[in-house]
Amino acid sequence: MILSDWDIKVYLEKKLLIINPLFDDTVRENGVDLRFGYRFCRFKGGNTIIDTKYMNVPEVLECLDVTEEKGFIINPYEHVLTTTLEWVELPHDLAGLVNLRSSFARAGIYIPPTIIDSGFKGNITIELIGGPHPVRVYPEQRFLHVVFLRTSSPVFKPYQGKYQGQINVTPPKPDQNN
């Protein structure tokens, strides 16, 4: 079941769902809008092979702290990592489906399908993919819409993965089994 604005407000008031900071326009009809944080990371060009067994990505990322005045340009077909301004904590009976707000999609940006797992805590790291034209974005713009789904029962094993508690942009990490 998708939570309505009423249900989301109850979860927030009871501190079962935490979104910090919480703005007046965060809660929407059937989800919440989250904002760009101040850090963006772009992949450097070159011949470095990203080995998914070891996730050696931090060596090929250039991270920038961005101002509200200047913003950040996503170049055509560029893959960029960014983060939400908000810290989010999901209870054990909610999962979040993350979508790009339609205004940004209409400007030519898109994101891959993203899910926030039950029990996750942290800033949300999101991959943005540019379209055919450069697009300038700014910190604190609402860019994501998260729809919350209530699970049939609280999950037995809430998220405790390698990205739990992430702050700011978090590059890919190797599996803990390697």
Catalytic residue ranges: 127
SS3 50: coil
Cα–Cα distance for residue pair 77/111, rounded to 1 Å: 12
Distance CA 79, CA 89 (A): 26
Interatomic CA distance for residues 166 and 89, integer angstroms: 11
The answer to whether the CB of 91 falls within 8 A of the CB of 17 is yes
